Amino acid sequence: MNQKNCLLIFRNKKLNVLVKAETCISVFAANGIYFERVLYCAFDDVEEITRSLTECMSAYGEVVILAPMVMRDSIIGFCEKASGAKFDNFDILYTPQSDVFILAADGEGRLKESDIISIITKKTGCRAERAHIRTVGATVAEINAVIAKAMDFCPSCDFNVSEHYSDCRIEIIYPENVMKSDFDNMWRTMISGLNDNIYALEDISLAERLFQLLKLRRMKMSVAESFTGGGIAKRLVGVPGVSEVYFEGLNTYSNEAKMKRLGVDELILKQYGAVSEQTAYQMAEGLLKTGDCDIAVSTTGIAGPKSDNTLKPVGLLYIAVGTRESISVFKYELKGDRENITETAINLALFHTFKKVK
């Protein structure tokens, strides 16, 4: 039987079927099942429906139909007439050419994605395994280039890449019977190609990974934010047990707060401005001098939508990360709207802290 898979979607403009379709595709992909073709057709165009059903049933081994439940009886009638077979009580049609599954795009149908995944997995006789890599700072283009090299060693692997404000999740799906040497070569290629950007080889958030490392090193962390609006602190305190490693967080927006709470030199602020390498450095230095912490991170920048009176560009960001031995400052010019700039800055700050602790 042809093992290629097809998803046929009947679109009703009154229903949010496209959102359901994206979710459906993601669920199947997460289980190592991909659709070679995704077709859309209007739910009220009989000629297009007939043509699409005929094409899918003749060309693909597994046909998943996502349609409003009001169409169920019509779809069943056509498919049974075309194939000479009958749907079972679970809305599945088995034929020598293809298997057809009907998923409800609205309400509860007789089938769920998990049911179809189980059937297809059992038929192929191979369960999908997963591995994960989490990165910050690597672009999707750079990751795709590394994946292209890795696939030369392990063509049976599939890769799902999702990026969220520079934090990238790479999911590798591979058959359980893959040759160990092929997988090992693929894995080494991925790790070596992305080494400087990796923070975890498991599916874990950046804040959780930093918490694990701080706890392992028995270090306390403090944060001073003049750009990210408490976003770093919020991300950290969202991790259960973080009080073991988190000493304090200050949201020092005004110059007066920077001077009074962190000891930033007034001359530094006048000469270089609040958004500067020198100010970021002294903010982190102030945390280390006055707080009971082992590592400090500070942020200062311009999130937009408008610049300040210094005419420095929107998206300009300085992150300082340091211990009592040394403080490093990182400069970025981020693009996008205020949310994109701020959230990306939070991820970059957490990542640089992770690398300093590591």
The per-residue pLDDT for 277 is 97
Q: What are phi and psi of 76, to 5 degrees?
A: -60, -45
- Residue bearing the bigger pLDDT, 6 or 1: 6
What tokens appear for 297 in the block? Answer: 């991170």
State the pLDDT at residue 291.
76
pLDDT of residue 13: 60
- 144 and 190 share one domain: yes
Alpha carbon distances (Å) from 184 to 145, 189, 196: 18, 9, 19
Tell whether pTM > 0.85: no
**CB 101, CB 116: distance < 8 Å:** yes
Domain that holds residue 193: 128-200
Average the pLDDT over 90-114 and give the result: 88
Residue 57 has a CB neighbour count (10 Å cut-off) of 21
The answer to whether 304 and 279 have CB atoms below 8 angstroms apart is no
**341 and 259 housed in the same domain:** yes
Query: pLDDT tens digit string along 327-351?
Result: 999 999 999 999 999 999 999 999 9
Residues 246 and 325 in one domain: yes
What 207-212 contacts at long range (C-beta under 8 Å, 24+ apart), as own/partner pairs, is 207/235, 207/236, 207/238, 207/239, 207/242, 207/350, 208/239, 209/134, 209/354, 210/236, 210/350, 210/353, 210/354, 210/357, 211/236, 211/239, 211/241, 211/242, 211/245
What tokens were used for 20? 């359901």
Number of domains, the chain = 3
Residues 45 and 181 in one domain: no
Res. 17 pLDDT band, cuts 50 70 90: low
What mean pLDDT comes out for the span 276-284?
A: 97
Closest among 300, 304, 302 to 264, alpha carbons compared: 300
Residues 15, 69, single domain; the answer is yes
Tell whether 84 and 168 lie within a shared domain.
no
Residues 273, 347 within the same domain: yes
Mean pLDDT of 249-263: 95
Is residue 326 pLDDT above 90, yes or no? yes
Co-location of 91 and 148 in the same domain: no
Which CATH number covers residue 140? 3.30.70.600
- pLDDT above 90 coverage of the chain, percent: 61
Query: Residue 100's domain is classified under what CATH number?
Result: 3.40.50
Question: Please, is 134 exposed, middle or buried when counting C-beta atoms within 10 Å of its C-beta (0-12, 13-18, 19+)?
Answer: buried
What mean pLDDT comes out for the span 68-79?
88
pLDDT over 70 (residue 15):
no
Report how far apart, in Å, the C-alpha atoms of 58 and of each of 34, 100, 122, 135, 164 are.
Answer: 18, 11, 22, 42, 39
In angstroms, the first-to-last Cα distance of the chain is 51
Domain end point (choices 124, 156, 177)? 124
Tell me, yes or no, whether 136 and 119 share the same domain. Answer: no
How far apart CA 175 and CA 157 sit, in angstroms, is 7
pLDDT tens-digit profile of 192-237?
999 999 999 999 999 999 999 999 999 999 999 998 989 999 999 9
140 lies in the same domain as 91:
no
pLDDT of residue 1: 45
Q: Which of these three, 78, 104, 124, is where a domain ends?
A: 124
What pLDDT does residue 29 have? Answer: 80
